[in-house]
């Protein structure tokens, strides 16, 4: 099942954090829905991470993948699910020393903040 947006209009960092804390089930969507474009390399890094944590790569099929061309793929998720992926990449990079996972984690976090008009330092404070 693809993600749904749980907000009608723009959401502040604090409003997202409040919603995140009120919806305890991590499989439930939370926040705005948006798409990010990932390169072929990024997608393979994400697939590698999912394999390491024991999740089928088919998991990504639930997030409306759209092939843009032979090098780029777009995935659409809510903010919660993008940040879960970002957190998995971040933790995985520290456990394995895989710097490319950390780079992708940083990209996803920064783009999440940028696309939603959120201050990245404020989001880091809320999420840490």
**Structure confidence by residue, pLDDT tens digits, 66-114:** 888 889 999 999 999 999 999 999 999 999 999 999 999 999 999 999 9
Domain membership of residue 91 (yes or no) is yes
Q: Domain of 49?
A: 33-120
**Collapsed DSSP state (helix, strand, coil) of residue 3:** coil
Q: Where are the beta strands (DSSP E) in the chain?
A: 33-39, 66-67, 72-78
Q: Rounded distance, CA 2 to CA 77, Å?
A: 7
Residue 22 counted as domain residue: no
Confirm whether 93 is domain-assigned: yes
Helix (H, G, I), strand (E, B) or coil at 33: strand
> How many distinct structural domains can be found in the chain?
1
Per-residue confidence at 1, pLDDT binned at 50, 70, 90?
low
Question: What's residue 85's pLDDT?
Answer: 92
Sheet holding 66-67, edge to edge: 33-39, 72-78, 66-67
Q: Is residue 77 part of a domain?
A: yes
Three-class SS state of 36: strand
Place of tokens 């072929």: 40
Q: Does the predicted TM-score (pTM) go above 0.85? A: yes
Per the domain annotation, does 128 fall within a domain?
A: no
Residue 126 lies in a domain: no
């Amino acid at each position: 099942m693809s993600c749904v947006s749980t907000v009608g209009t723009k959401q502040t960092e604090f409003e997202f954090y409040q919603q995140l804390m009120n919806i305890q089930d991590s499989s439930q969507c939370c926040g705005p829905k948006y798409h990010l474009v990932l390169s072929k390399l990024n997608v393979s890094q994400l697939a590698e991470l999912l394999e390491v944590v024991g999740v089928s790569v088919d998991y990504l099929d639930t997030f409306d993948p759209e092939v843009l061309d032979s090098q780029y793929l777009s995935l659409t998720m809510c903010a919660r699910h993008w940040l879960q992926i970002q957190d998995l990449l971040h933790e995985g990079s520290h456990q394995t020393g895989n710097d490319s996972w950390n780079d992708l984690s940083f990209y996803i976090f920064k783009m999440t903040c940028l696309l939603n008009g959120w201050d990245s330092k404020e989001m880091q404070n809320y999420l840490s």
